Each structure stands twice: as structure tokens, then as C-alpha cells.
Structure 1
Amino acid sequence: MEENKLIPFTDAPDTAVITCCHVTDDGAPVLYVSHDEDDGMWQFLCGGEHSEDEARIVSLRYIYELDHSVGLLKDMPCGSYAERESPAEEWIVNG
């Protein structure tokens, strides 16, 4: 349980989340986050269009360590998504 204090989410730090190769391999910022309604899965994406082969599965802790601002979305309910134009902008939550 102590490990959960490393991230602000109620999900465990090792929870699998979806991201894209642009974020993991190219250093693109996370500009789109969704919390899927059907399965509760988190997605942290660069905001562009993607093909399946660009998907990556990483831990929630990995994403949080890349960008602490995603912690502001910790209470975003399933079925919602958030966007921003750049890392300097505020998150806009929809849904």
C-alpha cells in the first residue's frame, strides 16, 4: 500500500495503461487522456492519429514519472477524456 503514495491515482502504480510510441519513443508530450467507460482502462496519448502498431502498454507509474501533470486527472471518471493544446496549457476535461 505504501507504494501507492508514489502516484496520486487510486489505481496501483503497476496498473497497465495504453500510450503510443510517440510518447514512449519520441518524447512527445501527453496531450490526450481517456478513462474508458467499458473497462476503466487509462489511455495517455500524444493527441495524434494512431495505428494499432503504435500502441504501447506501460505502467501508470511510468506515465506519471514522464509527466506529473497527468496526476491532476486522477479523479477523472470512467467515460471521460481530457485534452490540452500543449504541456503549458491546462487540461480540459470532457464527459
Structure 2
Amino acid sequence: MEYTFYDDPDTAAIICCHITENKSPILYVSHDEDDGMWQFLCGKEHEIDEARLVSLQWVFDLDNSISTLKDMPCGCYAERITQNDDWVIRKR
């Protein structure tokens, strides 16, 4: 699938180690209002040391289903129960 985000593919994104190391699915995505940073998490509680910095392209290649979130404005987040569910977007 072709990269669909408006942000540059090399844009830094935060992802949790549960996804990168344990192959947990992405179940929570935040597009932060203060700095526009994208965060991709497994839906569990996290400590700071569990964060990893990767490119937005890397996350997109890992899970193309995030492409539906390309228009999600800053200050919003998206959740889903399982990897097969649709994303539900909410404003903070």
C-alpha cells in the first residue's frame, strides 16, 4: 500500500516497545495538539522508558490500517478493541 499521510514519511513518531518488541497490535493512536506528534500504542499503561522513536513510514509499513487516520486532526485520538475493529476517533 502506498504511504498516505500528509506528514513527511520521515516524521518522528512514538511507538511503545510492546508493539516493536512483542508484536502487540496498535490499538491507540494520538495526534498530539501541542506539538503534532503521532503516538502509536498498544492500549496499556506505559512508562517513559517503554517509548521508542521511529519514522511515521515505519509505523505505516508495520500496520497499513493506520492510513484511515491520516486526516485525524491534532488534539484527537483513536482507539479500537482489536486489530480487526474499526478505529473510533475522539477529540480530547
TM exceeds 0.5? yes
Higher helix share: 1
Aligned to 1:38: 34
Unaligned runs of at least 5 residues, structure 1? 1-5
Aligned to 1:3: none
CA RMSD of aligned residues (A): 1.1
Divergent runs of 4+, >4 A: none
TM-score by length of 2: 0.96
TM-score by length of 1: 0.93
Seq. identity, %: 59
Cα distance per residue 1:24-49 (max 9 Å; x no partner):
11100000000000000000000000
**Letter paired with 1:43:** Q
Matched, 1:93 2:89: yes
